[in-house]
Amino acid sequence: MASGSDEVTMDTCAVCLETYTQPKFLPCHHTFCAKCITDLANRHTGGTFPCPSCRKPTSLPEGGVAALQANFYLRKQAENSKEMCKIHNTRELEFYCIRCQEAICINCKMTKHEQHQTEDLPTAIQQKREEIITEKARIQKAEKDLRESLKTTRAEQQAVLDKKAAVEKNIRDRHAVMVAAADKFRDEALDSLNNVSTDIDGDIDTILKQQENNLKELLRIKRQVERASNFVKASDVISVVQELKTGRGSEQALAKLTSHGWKTVCRPVLHFKVTGDVILQKTRDFMGTVTKMEMEVAAPEVRVVKRFPCGQEADIEVFSLCHVDSDPPCVRVSYERRGLKGDAVGIRFSEDGEYIRSSAFVGKVFCKRIAKGILMSESPRVGCITSYSKSRTTAHFRLSNNLSGKADVVNVKVTSSNPLTVEKKTEFSINVGAHRAFDVDETGQFFAVVEEPTFPETWRKVKLYQRPGGYPVSTYTPPAHLSCFQPSDVCFYRLGGEQVLLVTDELNDCIHVVYFQSGQLSKVPFLAQGCPWLIQPTAITVDVSARLWLACRGGTILCMEPVDM
């Protein structure tokens, strides 16, 4: 039977949507195939059924469908539309040759197709129509799939364009940072030049004044000597001669007057620590190079919403992010500007980015730079990271590190009224170096740590520890096609009913979805792949509603949740 979307024509039955076969009139003067009327009558009890066209109740006469009046016009039209054999043009096509797959007449059947299996042409045509309907459904499904694929490809094309615009903005922002920094350093160098030149000018002025005074003294002695030849009194002549021999005109005194000359000279010069080639390379490294990043898509998909910027600087680094389930809910953020150690800022925002107030304790770290383990000293508390667990439980953890390479993991319970008030529960140690970030899974047995690189390593590493062992049970290895990998934060998360470890990759603008079984990290698709706002992620956390909050360099705060939520 044809699909309901087919167009009904004058020679088409409204029930089977095919060309009429034995067309019969109903009492309401609507015409249908005899077989269609029979099927319709058999589906209703009481001998009465509604007309498929006008819904008028209809009863069959005695004798059933065969007793209904035939539509001779349609039957004649059908007879006139019968096809004739191309070989025996006076013969009607009546059979279908299964072997040759063609319609034939009686003469063809008796001659060329005598040994071939055949069947009645109407029966064969009906079967072929059913095959066409089946194939049509398959073609329609393929068309639907292709349209969906085309829609996805067009969306991917738009995502690439959006990402291109975002990366271009990032490049221009980084250029603006370099220009601003260059302007700042230029001004500092010019100020230094002025200071050095002023100092040198001061020294020269002092010498000039001394030499001018000495010249005046020498000219006074010269004039006295010139007048001595005209002196009348012998005592005056003798006095001048004595002054020239032992006084201010003596050889020793004159040598002293002329001794304030230049034995050394001073000039302002520009000192720099690197050559021009190194400067250009460092500039290029900071500006970055664009590569093609391949990412396998994680399931389920997530919906990403750009929430708010938490700063106005192009190179802000958010190193702490924590969502607080307060009334109203808020987002605690701690960030700093590159190169300004100790100048960290802690701010509390609403979920829509409205400024609430500054905060000394922000999320998983204190806002001071030493909390990141960057400034190291002999203090056992240096490098401390204090954290709310990112899992949605009442247990929270503190991971503190010192120069010995040992770290104490303390399971604490944080009161809702005062996040600095804790109740110590358990404690054990692991061997971990200076670290940037960490998180604990919902069972409290596994700890993921982002360790800072040690010489001669370049990149950070993500390591997994299991209680109570002190050494990592697994180290995350990124996909082989990633030549560079710079993790910035980790977060345990339940995705599609399975617990995974999310790793933000600051260098590749992506979030790695790392599955782990028996403590082994493996199987890496990517979350929110192609999101145009996902530029250099630096911090990630999860709230009580299973939403992910993400911070990117520059201070952009994103919120993402599974599409099926």
Output the DSSP codes for 81-130.
T--B-SSSTTSB--EEETTTTEEE-HHHHHTTTTTS-EEEHHHHHHHHHH
Report the alpha-carbon distance of residue 213 to residue 436 in Å, rounded.
66
Find, among 110, 25, 128, the residue nearest to 75 by Cα.
25
Find, among 347, 343, 340, the residue nearest to 320 by Cα.
347
**Which residues lie below 8 Å from residue 507, measured CB to CB, with a gap of 6+?**
484, 485, 486, 536
**Structure tokens, 528:** 């929110």
Report the alpha-carbon distance of residue 365 to residue 353 in Å, rounded.
20
Task: List pLDDT tens digits, range 352-369.
Answer: 888 887 654 433 333 332
SS3 state of residue 210: helix
SS3 state of residue 232: coil
Burial category of 531 from C-beta neighbours within 10 Å (exposed 0-12, middle 13-18, buried 19 and up) = buried
Q: What is the mean pLDDT of residues 118-143?
A: 86
Q: Quick one: pLDDT at residue 435?
A: 75
HEC string for 283-349: HHHHHCCCCCCCCCECCCCEEEEEEEECCCCCCEEEEEEEEECCCCCEEEEEEEECCCCCCCEEEEE
Highest mean pLDDT among 13-22, 177-186, 220-229, 296-305: 177-186
SS3 state of residue 493: strand
- Of the ranges 155-169, 287-301, 389-403, which one carries the lowest mean pLDDT score? 389-403
pLDDT at 346 over 70: yes
**Which residues lie below 8 Å from residue 403, measured CB to CB, with a gap of 6+?**
376, 378, 382, 383
Contact 405, 383 (CB under 8 A): no
pLDDT class of 326 with cuts at 50, 70, 90: confident
Quote the longest CA-to-CA distance of the chain: 179
Q: Quick one: pLDDT at residue 502?
A: 93
Q: What is the mean pLDDT of residues 302-307?
A: 87
Q: Quick one: pLDDT at residue 377?
A: 30
Q: Quick one: pLDDT at residue 80?
A: 56
Burial category of 106 from C-beta neighbours within 10 Å (exposed 0-12, middle 13-18, buried 19 and up) = middle
* pTM, rounded to two decimals: 0.59
**Structure tokens, 147:** 């349209």
Helix H or strand E segment including 243: helix 234-246
pLDDT at 141 over 60: yes
Chain centroid to Cα 469, Å, comes to: 34
pLDDT class of 261 with cuts at 50, 70, 90: low
Q: Quick one: pLDDT at residue 344?
A: 60
Task: List pLDDT tens digits, range 40-87.
Answer: 888 887 778 889 888 888 888 888 888 888 887 776 665 555 788 888
Report the alpha-carbon distance of residue 54 to residue 227 in Å, rounded.
148
Report the alpha-carbon distance of residue 295 to residue 527 in Å, rounded.
9
Q: What is the mean pLDDT of residues 396-402?
A: 52
| Start and end residues for every CATH 2.115.10 domain found in the chain | 302-562
Report the alpha-carbon distance of residue 399 to residue 383 in Å, rounded.
9
Report the alpha-carbon distance of residue 32 to residue 16 in Å, rounded.
9
- Of the ranges 27-36, 190-199, 269-278, which one carries the lowest mean pLDDT score? 269-278
Mean pLDDT, the chain, rounded, equals 76
Task: List pLDDT tens digits, range 88-104.
Answer: 888 888 899 999 999 99
DSSP string over 421-477: -EEEEEEEEEE--SEEEEEE-TTS-EEEEEEPP-TT--S-EEEEEETT-SS-SEE--
Contact 8, 17 (CB under 8 A): yes
Q: Of 426 and 557, which is predicted with more confidence?
A: 557
CA distances from 324 to 395, 433, 490 (A): 15, 29, 18
CA distances from 450 to 385, 458, 513 (A): 12, 13, 15
pLDDT at 550 over 90: yes
Highest mean pLDDT among 67-71, 224-228, 373-377: 67-71
CA trace torsion 335, 337, 338, 344 (10° rounding)? -50
**Tally of residues, the chain:** 565
Pick the CATH number of 302-562 from 2.115.10, 1.10.10, 2.40.330, 1.10.3470: 2.115.10
